[in-house]
Amino acid sequence: MMHEKTILLVEDNRADEVLTLRALKKANVANQVIVARDGVEALERLFSPADGRIAERLPELILLDLKLPKIDGHEVLRRIRADERTRLLPVVILTTSVEEQDRFDGYRLGANSYVRKPVDFAEFAEAVTQLGLYWLVLNEQPPAGGKG
Amino acid sequence: MSGAVLIVDDSLTVRMSLLELLNAAGLQSEACSTIAEARQALATSNYALVVLDVLLPDGDGVELLQEIRAMPAAEGTAVMMLSTETEVRDRVRGLTTGADEYVGKPYDPTYLVGRARELVRRSNDNAAQGEDTILLIDDSVTFREELKQTLQQAGYRVVIAVSGEEGLRLAANSRPSGVVVDGVLPGMDGATFIRRIRLDAALRGLPCFLLTGSEDRSAQLVALDAGADAFATKEENAGVILARISAMLRSAGEQSAVRATTSLLGPKKVLAVDDSETYLQQLAEALRAEGYDLILARSGEEALELLSVQQVDCVLLDLLMPGIGGRETCRRVKAVPAMRDIPVIMLTAVEDRDAMIQGLGAGADDYIAKSSDFDLVRARVLAQIRRKQFEDEHRTVREQLLRAEYEANKARTALETAEARATLAEELKLKNEELESFSYSVAHDLRAPLRAIDGFSLALLEDCEDKLSEDEKQNLHYVREAAQHMARLIDDLLALSRVTRGEFDRTETNITALAKDVIRRLKLSAPEREVAFVVANGLVASCDDRLLTIVFENLLGNAWKFTGKQEAACIEVGVTGDDPEVFFVRDNGVGFDMAYASKLFGMFQRLHSKIEFDGTGIGLVTVQRIIRRHGGRIWAEAAVGAGATFFFTLEGSRSRDVTLAADAPVVGQTRKDAAA
pLDDT tens by residue, B423-440: 898 888 888 788 777 877
Q: Is B456 on the interface with A (CB under 8 A)?
A: yes
Assigned fold of B1-128: Rossmann fold (3.40.50)
Scan residues 36-65 of A and list those with Cβ closer than 8 Å to B.
none
Q: Is A127 on the interface with B (CB under 8 A)?
A: no
Q: Is A116 on the interface with B (CB under 8 A)?
A: no
* Chain B residues near residue A15 by CB distance under 8 angstroms: 448-449, 451-452, 455-456
- Per the CB < 8 A criterion, the answer to whether B89 and B301 are in contact is no
For residue B670, the distance in angstroms to the closest alpha carbon of chain A comes to 10
Distance separating alpha carbons of residues B533 and B563, to the nearest angstrom:
12
Alpha-carbon separation of residue B43 from A29, B3, B30, B322, B325 (angstroms): 107, 17, 14, 48, 48
Q: Which of A91-95, A143-147, B69-73, B108-112 is predicted with the least confidence, judged by mean pLDDT?
A: A143-147
Q: Is residue A84 part of a domain?
A: yes
- Are B443 and A15 an interchain contact pair (Cβ–Cβ within 8 Å)? no
- Determine the pLDDT at residue B85: 65
Task: Convert the pLDDT of each residue in B18-52 to its tens digit.
Answer: 999 888 888 889 999 999 999 998 888 888 899 99
Q: Is residue A148 part of a domain?
A: no
Distance separating alpha carbons of residues B77 and B49, to the nearest angstrom:
5
Largest CA distance in chain B: 141
Q: Is A67 on the interface with B (CB under 8 A)?
A: yes
DSSP letters, B361-410, are: HTT-SEEEETTS-HHHHHHHHHHHHHHHHHHHHHHHHHHHHHHHHHHHHH
Percent of chain A with pLDDT over 70: 94
Question: Residue type at B391?
Answer: E
Phi, psi of B475 (to 5 degrees): -60, -40
- Determine the pLDDT at residue B100: 84
More confident residue, B574 or A52: B574
- Per the CB < 8 A criterion, the answer to whether B543 and B506 are in contact is yes
Of B450, B483, B675, the CB nearest to A66: B675
pLDDT over threshold 90, residue B309: no
- Are A15 and B452 an interchain contact pair (Cβ–Cβ within 8 Å)? yes
- Determine the pLDDT at residue B253: 63
Of A19, A102, A122, the CB nearest to B671: A102
* Chain A residues near residue B483 by CB distance under 8 angstroms: 119
- Would you state the torsion angle of the CA atoms of residues B46, B50, B53, B54, taken in this order, to the nearest 10 degrees? 80
What 8-state DSSP symbol labels residue A54? B
Of A99, A118, A122, the CB nearest to B440: A99
- Are A15 and B671 an interchain contact pair (Cβ–Cβ within 8 Å)? no
Q: Is residue A146 part of a domain?
A: no
Percent of chain B with pLDDT over 90: 14
- Are B448 and A16 an interchain contact pair (Cβ–Cβ within 8 Å)? yes
- Are A105 and B672 an interchain contact pair (Cβ–Cβ within 8 Å)? yes
Q: Is residue A142 part of a domain?
A: no
Number of CB pairs, chain A paired with chain B, less than 8 A apart: 69
Task: Convert the pLDDT of each residue in B271-294 to its tens digit.
Answer: 999 988 888 888 888 888 777 888
* Chain A residues near residue B675 by CB distance under 8 angstroms: 66-67, 72-74, 97, 102
* Region B619-639 average pLDDT: 89
Q: Is A102 on the interface with B (CB under 8 A)?
A: yes
B130-262 has CATH 3.30.470.20 classification = no
Q: Which residues of B57-66 are buried (b: 16+ CB within 10 A; e: fewer)?
A: eeeebbebbe
A74: β partners: none
- Are A13 and B448 an interchain contact pair (Cβ–Cβ within 8 Å)? yes
Question: Residue type at B560?
Answer: W
Q: What is the average pLDDT value for chain B, to the nearest integer?
A: 81
* Chain B residues near residue A67 by CB distance under 8 angstroms: 444, 675
- Are B675 and A120 an interchain contact pair (Cβ–Cβ within 8 Å)? no
For residue A1, the distance in angstroms to the closest alpha carbon of chain B comes to 30
Parts of chain B belonging to CATH 3.40.50.2300: 1-128, 130-262
Task: Convert the pLDDT of each residue in B396-430 to its tens digit.
Answer: 788 888 888 888 888 888 888 888 888 898 888 88
Phi, psi of A53 (to 5 degrees): -70, 155
DSSP letters, B601-653, are: TSTT--SS-TTTS---S-HHHHHHHHHHHTT--EEEEE-TTS-EEEEE-----
For residue A141, the distance in angstroms to the closest alpha carbon of chain B comes to 30
- Determine the pLDDT at residue B168: 86
Q: In 3-state terms, what secondary structure has residue B67?
A: helix
* Chain B residues near residue A118 by CB distance under 8 angstroms: 451
Domain count across chain A: 1
* Chain A residues near residue B667 by CB distance under 8 angstroms: 101
CATH number of the structural domain spanning residue A124: 3.40.50.2300
Scan residues 429-448 of B and list those with Cβ closer than 8 Å to A.
440, 443-444, 447-448
Q: Is B487 on the interface with A (CB under 8 A)?
A: yes
Task: Convert the pLDDT of each residue in B541-584 to its tens digit.
Answer: 889 988 999 999 999 999 999 998 888 899 999 998 777 789 99
Parts of chain B belonging to CATH 3.30.565.10: 503-676
- Determine the pLDDT at residue B217: 63
Task: Using alpha carbons only, give the angle B487, B488, B493 rounded to the nearest 5 degrees.
Answer: 100
A11-14 long-range contacts (CB < 8 A, ≥24 apart) are A11/A35, A11/A36, A11/A37, A11/A63, A11/A65, A11/A94, A12/A37, A12/A38, A12/A65, A12/A67, A12/A68, A12/A69, A13/A65, A13/B448, A13/B452
* Chain A residues near residue B487 by CB distance under 8 angstroms: 119-120
Q: Is A25 on the interface with B (CB under 8 A)?
A: no
Q: Cis peptide leading into B580, omega within 30 of 0?
A: yes
Say which CATH architecture domain B503-676 belongs to: 2-Layer Sandwich (3.30)
Distance separating alpha carbons of residues B273 and B319, to the nearest angstrom:
9
* Chain A residues near residue B447 by CB distance under 8 angstroms: 96, 117, 119
- Are B454 and A120 an interchain contact pair (Cβ–Cβ within 8 Å)? yes
Helix, strand, coil % over all residues of chain A, rounded to 5: 40, 15, 40
Of A22, A119, A121, the CB nearest to B447: A119
Q: Is residue A55 part of a domain?
A: yes
- Are A19 and B452 an interchain contact pair (Cβ–Cβ within 8 Å)? yes
> Which domain range does residue A127 map to?
2-137
Task: Using alpha carbons only, give the angle B60, B63, B65 rounded to the nearest 5 degrees.
Answer: 115
More confident residue, B542 or B75: B542
Residue of B nearest to A76 (CA): B676
pLDDT over threshold 60, residue B674: no
Q: Is A13 on the interface with B (CB under 8 A)?
A: yes
Q: Which residues lie closer than 8 Å to B335 by C-beta, 6 or more apart?
A: none
Q: Is B477 on the interface with A (CB under 8 A)?
A: no
- Determine the pLDDT at residue B673: 39
Phi, psi of B310 (to 5 degrees): -130, 125
Whether pTM > 0.80 for this model: the answer is no
- Per the CB < 8 A criterion, the answer to whether B549 and B540 are in contact is no
Distance separating alpha carbons of residues B543 and B661, to the nearest angstrom:
13
Q: Is A83 on the interface with B (CB under 8 A)?
A: no
Using pLDDT thresholds of 50, 70 and 90, give the confidence band for residue B266.
low
Question: Residue type at A46?
Answer: L
Q: Which residues lie closer than 8 Å to B535 by C-beta, 6 or more apart?
A: B512, B515, B516, B519, B572, B573, B574
More confident residue, B384 or B664: B384
Using pLDDT thresholds of 50, 70 and 90, give the confidence band for residue B265.
low
Using pLDDT thresholds of 50, 70 and 90, give the confidence band for residue B214.
low
Of A74, A101, A119, the CB nearest to B483: A119
- Determine the pLDDT at residue B661: 36
For residue A101, the distance in angstroms to the closest alpha carbon of chain B comes to 6
* Chain A residues near residue B455 by CB distance under 8 angstroms: 15, 19, 22, 121, 124
pLDDT over threshold 60, residue A146: no
Distance separating alpha carbons of residues B493 and B486, to the nearest angstrom:
10
Residue of B nearest to A19 (CA): B455
Q: Is residue A88 part of a domain?
A: yes
Residue of B nearest to A70 (CA): B676
Closest listed residue to residue A122, CA positions, set A23, A21, A33, A55: A23
pLDDT over threshold 80, residue B88: no
